[in-house]
Amino acid sequence: MKRVLVSARLPAGGEGFSGLAALVRGACSRLHFAEDAENRALLVAGECFENIARHGGGNGCALP
């Protein structure tokens, strides 16, 4: 299974993790599939955005 990681900075203005969580939820809604070099669709379901944990958000969000 292909792993997708998102790198993002915490939003300015004191939004903290809630703003970052909103950003990642938006990314989750668009990253259901990724294509490899041979143009086969790979399901990304079940993978988490691991780097969210660095910002105090637990395991991140699992893709549907």
In angstroms, the CA 64 to CA 61 distance is 9
Mean pLDDT of the chain: 49
Residue 10 token pair: 């915490």
Q: What is the pLDDT of residue 59?
A: 45
Cα-Cα end-to-end distance for the chain? 14
Q: For residue 31, what are its two tokens?
A: 């990253």
pTM above 0.85, yes or no: no
* Tens digits of residue pLDDT in 20-44: 566 666 665 554 444 444 434 333 3
Task: Please state, in angstroms and as integers, the Cα–Cα distance from residue 47 to each residue in 21, 36, 39, 40, following that order.
Answer: 16, 16, 20, 18
- 27 membership: H or E segment, kind and range: helix 16-30
Domain boundaries, the chain: 1-64
What pLDDT does 63 receive? 41
Per-residue confidence (pLDDT) for residue 26, from 0 to 100: 62
